[in-house]
Amino acid sequence: MRNILENMDSCVGCSACAQRCPRQCISMVPDDEGFLIPLIDEKRCNDCGLCKKVCPVLNTDGNNPGDAGQAGYPKAWAAWSTDDGIRLNSSSGGLFSMFAESCLLRGGTVFGAAFDKDFMVRHTGISKLSDLDSLRRSKYVQSDISQCYREAEKRLKEHRPVLFSGTGCQIAGLMSFLGKPYPELLTIDVVCYGVPSPKVWSLYLDDMKKRYKGDIASISFRDKKNGWKNYCMYIGFQNGRFYRRTAVKDTFFIGFGKNLLSRKSCYSCHFRHPRSQADLTLADFWGAERLKGIDTLDNKGVSLVIANTPKGQATLDSIREKCYLMETSFREAALGNPRVTESAPMPRSRALFFDDLIRGMRFSSLRRKYMNPFVQTLKLSAKRIAGPRFIERLKKLKRV
Ligand SMILES: Cc1cc2nc3c(=O)[nH]c(=O)nc-3n(C[C@H](O)[C@H](O)[C@H](O)COP(=O)(O)OP(=O)(O)OC[C@H]3O[C@@H](n4cnc5c(N)ncnc54)[C@H](O)[C@@H]3O)c2cc1C
């Protein structure tokens, strides 16, 4: 079967090709691992080549606004919203909400990732402040962009403000889809560990529904009841029961942390710094306590904001009064957060995990074999008691 990329493992699933196809003969369908890939209806395709022209993977040298001619960028900041409600209901310091509010108050549309009615993750556009909470907080699953590039383009052509947020590859997809800069567009990407498989997420949810004997009412990947640094997976059920586990003890987070669940293209991502194409980049500022004058003892969350372009910087300046900001250097920020510039490596067990998944291994068995909270707790306790060097020695012994 002919496809847009010779090696489909490098496809990021942004769907720029499907949304740009003038004959609409490309559909996005899940592959065996559960990630969306383009499928061309060859009978209707007339080989116009537009799909290749807008593919961000084939055009990685595209219009990177952080590139040439913008001396002095990127600049980095530790930041948080002075509104505690927003900060506590966000993954890190709540900076995304500040940018989103500013766009919405100017009559604009904000695009970002939200849960649908089945708690699968989809991009959507909102234009009311009351809908902003649906985009808040990271959902650690690859989101389906649906028709959002087209919707954003429609608004931009009407000269209406648009804030588009997403992972680096989704922003790169948008930029190649649009093909030209728009003054009313502000783009924000998140520093990204990798996007986990929607299929694994759906199996995890089915498992949780069975265990808690109820349908799901709400989910937060970044519940801060135990603080920002000890964040929890929270799932509320319609029967009134709830599940709350720190990330180190939750099955899905263990798989995510071991980097078992990400899309293959994430392990050699082309859209991190210095190739981010967004005006602003957001992340957790892990290790913010290293910075002089920052007190993270309240444990409510600190964002890392990277201004990649003068437009990003101007937007940051415009929200200054509503947040705490401390300038640092890009180097300092990247030092404490390797995912700013480097992809997480692919573990050998990823292939085994997906082989088992595709062969139909039950989720409970996958959980026991690959994402076992008991084993994880043992490892952490051993690390705490014996120190990381002991664990390294054990690993070496295992290899022999
Ligand atoms: C898949 C993923 C992996 C990440 N990995 C890291 C990491 O390794 N290190 C790190 O420091 N930070 C990482 N982040 C970023 C971090 O979790 C926060 O999103 C960031 O600190 C912004 O937080 P905030 O408090 O400003 O706003 P929040 O309100 O928490 O941010 C919400 C923003 O995240 C976007 N978003 C949420 N889920 C998705 C999704 N599935 N796909 C695309 N966009 C999404 C929303 O559209 C919105 O723009 C990751 C985020 C995601 C989505």
Nearest CA to ligand 1 atom 44: 166
In a domain, 93, yes or no: yes
Q: Does the beta carbon of 125 sit less than 6 angstroms from any atom of ligand 1?
A: no
172 shares a domain with 282 = yes
Helix (H) and strand (E) counts in the chain: 14, 13
Q: Does the beta carbon of 283 sit less than 6 angstroms from any atom of ligand 1?
A: yes
Helix segments in 158-265, DSSP class H: 168-178, 198-211, 251-257
Of 246, 189, 251, 226, which is closest to residue 301 (Cα–Cα)? Answer: 226
In a domain, 395, yes or no: no
Q: How many domains does the chain have?
A: 2
18 shares a domain with 137 = no
User: Which of 81, 84, 86, 91 for mutating ligand 1's site (highest number of atoms within 8 Å of CB)?
Assistant: 91
In a domain, 383, yes or no: no
**pLDDT of 66:** 45
Taking the C-alpha atoms of residue 159 and residue 182, their distance in angstroms, rounded to an integer, is: 9
Q: Does the beta carbon of 139 sit less than 6 angstroms from any atom of ligand 1?
A: yes
In a domain, 25, yes or no: yes
- Asked whether the beta carbons of 68 and 55 are under 8 A apart, the reply is no
Of 329, 321, 328, 289, which is closest to residue 81 (Cα–Cα)? Answer: 321
166 shares a domain with 34 = no
Residues in the chain: 400
Q: Does the beta carbon of 80 sit less than 6 angstroms from any atom of ligand 1?
A: no
Q: Does the beta carbon of 136 sit less than 6 angstroms from any atom of ligand 1?
A: yes
Q: Does the beta carbon of 259 sit less than 6 angstroms from any atom of ligand 1?
A: no
259 shares a domain with 244 = yes
209 shares a domain with 87 = yes
Over residues 165-188, the mean pLDDT reads 97
Q: Which two tokens stand for residue 281?
A: 């980049």
More confident site: 376 or 87? 87
Percent of all residues in the chain with a pLDDT value above 70, rounded to a whole number: 90
120 pLDDT band, cuts 50/70/90, is very high
Q: Does the beta carbon of 101 sit less than 6 angstroms from any atom of ligand 1?
A: no
Inform me whether the pLDDT recorded for 52 exceeds 90.
yes
Strand, coil or helix: 315? helix
pLDDT tens per residue, range 373-392 = 777 666 666 666 666 665 66
In a domain, 388, yes or no: no
Atom of ligand 1 at shortest range from CA of 91: 30
Q: Does the beta carbon of 89 sit less than 6 angstroms from any atom of ligand 1?
A: no
Nearest CA to ligand 1 atom 43: 166
Q: What is the dihedral of CA 77, 290, 225, 217, to 10 degrees?
A: 40
Which residue carries 């996005």 as its tokens? 28
Residue 138 burial (10 A CB sphere; 0-12, 13-18, 19+): buried
119 shares a domain with 16 = no
In a domain, 359, yes or no: yes
pLDDT tens per residue, range 268-303 = 999 999 999 999 999 999 989 888 878 777 999 999
Q: Does the beta carbon of 281 sit less than 6 angstroms from any atom of ligand 1?
A: no
Domain CATH for 43: 3.30.70.20
Inform me whether the pLDDT recorded for 51 exceeds 90.
yes
149 shares a domain with 45 = no
Of 199, 206, 202, which is closest to residue 358 (Cα–Cα)? Answer: 199
101 shares a domain with 204 = yes
Taking the C-alpha atoms of residue 262 and residue 310, their distance in angstroms, rounded to an integer, is: 32
Q: Does the beta carbon of 92 sit less than 6 angstroms from any atom of ligand 1?
A: yes
Give the contacts of 144 (CB within 8 A, at least 6 positions apart). 15, 28, 36, 120, 121, 122, 123, 198
Cα 346 to ligand 1 centre (Å): 21
Of 36, 207, 221, which is closest to residue 139 (Cα–Cα)? Answer: 221
Angle, helices 388-399/373-386, rounded to nearest 10 degrees? 120
29 shares a domain with 64 = no
User: Which of 138, 162, 169, 228 for mutating ligand 1's site (highest number of atoms within 8 Å of CB)?
Assistant: 138
Q: Is the pTM of this model over 0.75?
A: yes
Q: Does the beta carbon of 93 sit less than 6 angstroms from any atom of ligand 1?
A: yes
Q: What is the average pLDDT score of the chain?
A: 92
161 shares a domain with 188 = yes
In a domain, 385, yes or no: no
User: Which of 122, 190, 256, 340 for mutating ligand 1's site (highest number of atoms within 8 Å of CB)?
Assistant: 190
pLDDT tens per residue, range 129-144 = 999 999 999 999 999 9
pLDDT tens per residue, range 302-342 = 999 999 999 999 999 999 999 999 999 999 899 889 999 99
145 shares a domain with 23 = no
Give the contacts of 232 (CB within 8 A, at least 6 positions apart). 220, 223, 224, 225, 226, 244, 245, 246, 247, 250
Of 381, 365, 281, 357, which is closest to residue 35 (Cα–Cα)? Answer: 357
**Distances in Å between the alpha carbon of 284 and those of 260, 287, 340, 363?**
21, 9, 10, 30
Cα 304 to ligand 1 centre (Å): 11
Of 376, 153, 355, which is closest to residue 255 (Cα–Cα)? Answer: 376
Taking the C-alpha atoms of residue 276 and residue 259, their distance in angstroms, rounded to an integer, is: 21
Pairing type for strands 242-246 and 280-284 reads: unpaired
pLDDT tens per residue, range 219-273 = 999 999 999 999 999 999 999 999 999 999 999 999 999 999 999 999 999 999 9
**pLDDT of 383:** 63
In a domain, 393, yes or no: no
Atom of ligand 1 at shortest range from CA of 93: 25
124 shares a domain with 32 = no
**pLDDT of 68:** 39
Atom of ligand 1 at shortest range from CA of 304: 21
Which residue carries 């961000």 as its tokens? 56
In which domain, by residue range, is 273 found? 59-370
**pLDDT of 389:** 63
